[in-house]
Chains A and B, each alone.
Chain A
Amino acid sequence: MQNTWLITGPPGCGKTTWIRDCFLKHQGTCAYLRLSGSEQEGLEQGPNAGIDSAWLQDQIPELLDVATTADAPPPTDTRLLLIEVQQFQPPTISGPDGIDPHVLRQLERFNLRPDRTLHFGLDPELPHEDVLDFKRLESWHRNLQGCVWDPNSLSSFWFELVNGAYGDVYRAKALMNLPDGRSFLCNWMVSQQSSQFLPLEAVEPPAGRPNRTSHLVVQGRALDPAGIQSTIDDCLFTDDVLELHQAPLRDRQHALQSNG
């Protein structure tokens, strides 16, 4: 059985979603690795900042993230290792021989050699409709670990972000914390009609700032980082305001536990 696959494709084509669906269907060990793709003229890669890994880990709790484990799990008949790479252009040669040298070097560090390579927009096995051909792409990101959003402000900010208030945004992806302990994967691609707001399964207690991955990555053209930054700052709760929101939630939880 072939079980180490390299999945490549341009931003927003649905790589992570497809990988998640594969894992959910797979009976056996699931392992994941995210590698950085090659920069190209005018096309910034931008960091993924652990967003995909954190999302997949939430959806498949037993998932092994090869990047954070000392060794990749040994190949077995029931192990499926999916390696994700953002790659703007399809490989000129299909199969392992067409792997980008930059990716190949990273694979060697993990002692991995994919036995199957699939590129979005090239391989008919993969969904096709969202593949865009990018000519120029800037990237901006912000680590939001420990940050908690006012939910309505997040909604306004995201609306403005994906509708062009801060430049031509083609792709936006984030994990965002709310005061009630939930975290959402916010996901938008210019070719899609609307954003996805997917709640993580794991909910933290509403007690202070969560300590999990939270990050925003934006890709597009003529981005306005100062504008994005300034609006984000207006949306995030201070410690005092966060406590004002969380204290009643804790009281309600305690009351439910006492009554239960």
Chain B
Amino acid sequence: MTMSHAVISCLHANLAACEAVLADIDQQGIDTITCLGDLVGYGPQPNEVIELIRERSIPTCQGCWDEDIIDGLNACECSYPSQLAERRGHRAHHWAAERITENNKAFLASLPMTLRRDRLLFVHGSPNSQHEYLLPDMNAFAALERVETAGAETLFCGHTHQPYVRELSEGSIRVSVQKNGNHSDSEQEMTLPMRRIVNAGSVGEPRHGSTKATYVVHDDDSGAVSVREVEYDVSKTCRAIIEAGLPEVFAWRLSHGFEYAERAEDASHVCER
């Protein structure tokens, strides 16, 4: 029997999407799940989603929204591409911060930044920061560096809300060393084994051109990764957004497959805190 495990990310307080994804995972008989964080933020059911993850004892690492709820808003303004996005983000933050119970906040605070299983590493953004985006088209050397320095073969991340599998093969590093008193360089070339970055997409706030929730399934034996899309009752979450008193435009954006707030122009930028 093959051993598969599911990786979910960016739940964003969207209970209907979380329930649908967990039901889909259960239906496949997969009982190992890893969560890459961002349990809260923008969506209307932060406590319910945290409690669902806790009830199911799903190992979870801390996302950027989870961190902000604990530490307060101390990201620089570069986190948002516009004043509008920033104000909406702050409004959503304050809304969630006021409603999340102390017990659930303590749970968010307890989450680790990374989880590791053998040569599989699980992070929210990148091994460097929950706020760093590993975009599918980022420079190959930089991408390889993130995986290699973290000592991983496969790096699972989220944060971009766009699922992808990127294989980093045929990587090599050429090192030129000039020794004292010796004018000739000695060169060494190291070939790196294949590494992979797997982005799990987003359960609660998809941004891949569809409103369907996404997650990935990893076959531990073969290493195969499949991206799964799950339909859920988007209108139910939209109604909950409006009933909760969150900006109605959040419901409109979710129902059209747009993120609540667009990503910063330079998405690779990491806040200097």
Contact B262 A156 (CB under 8 A): yes
Output the nearest chain A residue to B256 by Cβ-Cβ distance. A163
Contact B82 A156 (CB under 8 A): yes
Bound together, the chains give a CA A157 to CA B84 distance in angstroms of 8
Main secondary structure of the interface of B (DSSP, over half): helix
Bound together, the chains give a CA A164 to CA B248 distance in angstroms of 12
Chain A stretch 164-218: residues in CB contact (< 8 A) with chain B: 164-166
Chain A stretch 120-161: residues in CB contact (< 8 A) with chain B: 150, 152-153, 155-157, 160
Decide yes or no: A231 and B84 within 8 Å by CB, A160-B249, A160-B252, A165-B253 being known contacts.
yes
Bound together, the chains give a CA A152 to CA B263 distance in angstroms of 11
Contact B249 A150 (CB under 8 A): no
Interface size on B, residues (CB 8 A): 15
Q: B82: which A residues are within 8 A, CB to CB?
A: 150, 152-153, 155-156, 235
Bound together, the chains give a CA A204 to CA B82 distance in angstroms of 23
**A235 in complex: contacting residue of B84, B247, B248, B265, CB < 8 Å:** B84
Contact B249 A235 (CB under 8 A): no
Bound together, the chains give a CA A234 to CA B84 distance in angstroms of 5
Contact B249 A153 (CB under 8 A): no
Q: A160: which B residues are within 8 A, CB to CB?
A: 249, 252-253
Chain B stretch 75-106: residues in CB contact (< 8 A) with chain A: 81-85, 87-88
Cβ distance A174 to chain B, nearest Cβ, rounded Å:
16
Q: A23: which B residues are within 8 A, CB to CB?
A: none
Main secondary structure of the interface of A (DSSP, over half): helix
Interface size on A, residues (CB 8 A): 19
Contact B88 A234 (CB under 8 A): yes
Q: A157: which B residues are within 8 A, CB to CB?
A: 84
Bound together, the chains give a CA A157 to CA B87 distance in angstroms of 13
Cβ distance B24 to chain A, nearest Cβ, rounded Å:
30
Bound together, the chains give a CA A230 to CA B248 distance in angstroms of 11
Q: A227 interface residue, CB < 8 Å from B?
A: yes
Decide yes or no: A165 and B249 within 8 Å by CB, A156-B262, A234-B88 being known contacts.
yes
Cβ distance A186 to chain B, nearest Cβ, rounded Å:
15
Output the nearest chain A residue to B85 by Cβ-Cβ distance. A156
Bound together, the chains give a CA A237 to CA B262 distance in angstroms of 19
Contact B252 A164 (CB under 8 A): yes
Output the nearest chain A residue to B80 by Cβ-Cβ distance. A152
Decide yes or no: A227 and B249 within 8 Å by CB, A156-B262, A163-B256, A234-B88 being known contacts.
yes
Q: B81: which A residues are within 8 A, CB to CB?
A: 152
Decide yes or no: A234 and B87 within 8 Å by CB, A150-B82, A156-B82, A227-B248 being known contacts.
yes
Q: B248: which A residues are within 8 A, CB to CB?
A: 224, 227
1/0 per position for B241-260, CB-CB distance to A under 8 A?
00000011100110010000
Chain B stretch 222-273: residues in CB contact (< 8 A) with chain A: 247-249, 252-253, 256, 262, 265
Cβ distance B265 to chain A, nearest Cβ, rounded Å:
8
Output the nearest chain B residue to A163 by Cβ-Cβ distance. B256
Contact B84 A156 (CB under 8 A): yes
Cβ distance B273 to chain A, nearest Cβ, rounded Å:
21
List 18 extra interface pairs beyond A152-B84, A234-B88, A235-B83, CB under 8 A: A152-B83, A152-B265, A153-B82, A153-B83, A153-B85, A155-B82, A156-B262, A157-B84, A160-B253, A163-B256, A164-B252, A165-B253, A224-B248, A227-B249, A230-B247, A234-B83, A237-B83, A241-B83
**Chain B residues within CB distance 8 Å of chain A:** 81-85, 87-88, 247-249, 252-253, 256, 262, 265
